[in-house]
Structure 1
Amino acid sequence: MAKKKTAKKVSKQKSEAYEAPEFLVDLLNARSPTGAEYEAQAVVDKHVEPAVDAYRRDTMGNRFATVNPDGDPRVLFAGHIDELGLIITYINEQGFLYFDTLGGHDKTMISGRRVSILTKDGVIKGVTGKRAIHLMSPEDRKKVPETHEIWIDLGVKTKAEAEALVRIGDTAVYDQSFELIRGSVGVARAFDDKAGAYAVLEAVRRLKSEKKLAARVTAAATTQEEIGTRGAMTAAFSENPDFAIAVDVGHATDSPDCDPRKYGSFKQGGGPIVCRGPNINPVIFEHIIRCAEKNKIPYQLEADPRPTGTDARAIQVAQSGIATGLLSIPLRYMHTPSEMVDLEDVEHTVQLLVEFALSLKKGERGIW
């Protein structure tokens, strides 16, 4: 088990006149591969627990932050704190580590990366490697390597040396931190879904001081979304809210080679994407749109014909059914080491969540 540590503090992230929120920066830099979300949990504990009315943890590793605990209706905001990772499966006689993937990796992105391995004694650094292009045949150069054809090099000589550092089942993430590159546009290895987790938790922190809040609002930082929305399943069951909004990332399709006829038209900087379709309760959808338009919060519309690949799919069908909505933060280069987000979209998502919660009246439900 990796030690529960907060991410190492880095200098404040500024770009021109824009400064990223410290809570978001800490969350983005926390290493939290699926099933080993310790560092992200510690960041949430630090920034959120002192700022809300009630706070709890569960056996899945979820974190729950509640304001106005006696309010009505009951509302759940959910964003997942796990990220893509690697899990060590085999160590050969020369001390090279082999692994499987946690979550949906693009295999063309894995090799040649610096990685941080989370162990019981702290972080161990390594590099992913494969046979150099100079040593490949023309046919081999055209192939995408299979996972078992890539390894992690610790710079050791023997299996014994490697085993003194890492164990089978230890997990790793790319060694790549958050950085602002232009104004409010930043890159990080895990905007998916640290951006969404920040949005739901920050919304609850802001709601703490709102006197006109009628609803009971809980933000859940969920785990294991990348391998099947597992944390959201138990979170939705234990909270059993009247309304829920999941916040994740969605594809910004304004970069080259994205056909809007197939994927829709979504712009980075265009505001949160509001989903519509069978996974979305129509009452909550219309309520979200009214809040956005009343408060002049920019938004974009997405149609999804099936259960979405987000926590919303699990929340909707928990207990006897939960009126569920979905907001997506536009993101370029999803599931790569350098995902790109405009932090103004994150801020607008926070604002929309706050206004939605404040707009609810006692007794409101999502029955249609």
Structure 2
Amino acid sequence: MRDASFEFLQKLLEAPSPSGYEQPAQRIFRAYIAPFAQVSTDVMGNVFGAIEGIGVERPRVMLVGHSDEIGFQVKYLDDNGFLYFAAIGGVDPHITPGQRVNIHGCKGVVPGVIGKKPIHLMETKERETVVKLDAQYIDIGAANRKEAETLVRVGDPVTFAVGLEKLHGDRVTSRGFDDKAGSFVVAEVLRQVAALSAKLPVDLFGVSSVQEEVGLRGGTTSSYTVNPDIGICVEVDFSTDQPDVDKKHNGEVGIGKGPILPRGANINPVLFELLADTAARENIPVQFTGIPRATGTDANVMQISRGGVATALVKIPLRYMHTPVEVLSLADLENAVRLIVATLARITDKQTFIPS
């Protein structure tokens, strides 16, 4: 991966963006695509990058990844200065005690820790019980409520206090790959399309959407705005190459083996075949999974927007989803970009995607 792209990925991941509080990450995305796309932002906070194509009655193609990550929100400050919180998105209460966190307030970042009773003071039954999130608390070092209120206020968003780190080879770990990996791919596709020697036969709209983790909300409104003929959602998917994941649930999928192309009710069969054939032509490694229902992604709402959209998913294999230590392969990100750019060049007629 080129240095400038990796730097963008790191900035995007480390910018706080729990659902409803995405603007720090969206500012990073917006600044990155501004030199090569026409940029706009809607009232929801979705960011759009548009590149005009060439030709008569050219199809409108929407490419979307969501910028929001899971996190927390401050709900209550007690008399001793401890902060009680609720989850934004699907947070596993098993993993939160003992974590370092950042509270993002109007006066800046306030570091804190999610406290936990020492094991020495726990009864046997307590050790076997998961503490509910609403019983957990954040310690910022405040002596009392009055002191805490000078630093934070109810409603402030909270993120895990970790960023991007390199592991062995091309593997990297971070919070927020779900789905800033998708926003990253969208931005890189826009960059590469803008650099092509000839315009594509499509109007391309790259979208970094918001509030996916709390109900596909930004995907719904941005699909209505763009009104695409064809849509590709870039998401992450469960990698099944770790010891404790059953392959019968999600198929045999591994990181570093290429992006995933699902099939099922949410996927237009013609667009799926075009992606798969393009991967074979361009010698791009891909993996296949089946999703026999609507997916919990922006592809779901995009497909049924207005009169319907020919929709597909390109997914990045990910270990440890919705934890502070999500792991993926940089090569999978780059191959997703290659696949989408090559596929866009082969789209000419929106009527082609009407199933026969």
Q: Which deviates more from structure 2 when the two are superposed, residues 257-266 or residues 73-82?
A: 257-266
CA RMSD between the two structures: 1.6
For the 8 Å contact 2:40–2:49, the answer to whether it is kept is: yes
C-alpha distance in 1 between matches for 2:153 and 2:66: 26
Structure 1 gaps of 5+ residues are 1-12
What is the match of residue 48 of structure 2? 64
What is the match of residue 302 of structure 2? 315
For the 8 Å contact 1:200–1:353, the answer to whether it is kept is: no
What is the match of residue 119 of structure 1? 105
After TM superposition, the structure 1 = structure 2 runs for residues 73-222 of structure 1, keeping only pairs within 5 Å, are: 73-210=59-196, 211-222=198-209
What is the match of residue 42 of structure 1? 27
SS in 2 for 1:182: coil
State the 1:69 CA deviation.
5.5
For the 8 Å contact 2:32–2:187, the answer to whether it is kept is: no
C-alpha distance in 1 between matches for 2:273 and 2:129: 47
Give the 3 Å change call, closer, same or farther, for CA 205–128 of structure 1 in structure 2: same
C-alpha distance in 2 between matches for 1:45 and 1:307: 30
Structure 2 gaps of 5+ residues are none
For the 8 Å contact 1:26–1:43, the answer to whether it is kept is: yes
C-alpha distance in 2 between matches for 1:269 and 1:355: 20
For the 8 Å contact 1:269–1:345, the answer to whether it is kept is: yes
SS in 2 for 1:293: helix
State the 1:355 CA deviation.
0.7
What is the match of residue 276 of structure 1? 263
For the 8 Å contact 1:130–1:149, the answer to whether it is kept is: no
After TM superposition, the structure 1 = structure 2 runs for residues 227-238 of structure 1, keeping only pairs within 5 Å, are: 227-238=214-225
What is the aligned residue count?
A: 352
Alpha-carbon displacement from aligned partner over 1:257-282 (angstroms, at most 9, x marks no partner): 22212321001111000010001111
Which of 281, 285, 289 aligns to 1:298? It is: 285
SS in 2 for 1:100: strand
Structure 1: 4+ residue segments shifted above 4 A: 362-365
SS in 1 for 2:232: strand
Alpha-carbon displacement from aligned partner over 1:147-189 (angstroms, at most 9, x marks no partner): 1221000101110111111111000100000011112100001
For the 8 Å contact 1:249–1:329, the answer to whether it is kept is: yes
State the 1:70 CA deviation.
6.2
For the 8 Å contact 2:202–2:347, the answer to whether it is kept is: yes
Q: Which deviates more from structure 2 when the two are superposed, residues 269-278 or residues 113-122?
A: 113-122
Q: Does 1:21 align with 2:9?
A: no
SS in 2 for 1:347: helix
Partner AA of 1:319 in structure 2: R
Q: Does 1:263 align with 2:250?
A: yes
SS in 1 for 2:345: helix
Partner AA of 2:51 in structure 1: V
Identity of aligned residues (%): 40
Q: Which deviates more from structure 2 when the two are superposed, residues 117-126 or residues 83-92?
A: 117-126
SS in 1 for 2:45: coil
Partner AA of 1:94 in structure 2: N
Q: Which deviates more from structure 2 when the two are superposed, residues 75-84 or residues 115-124?
A: 115-124
Partner AA of 2:11 in structure 1: D
Give the TM-score, by structure 2 length.
0.96
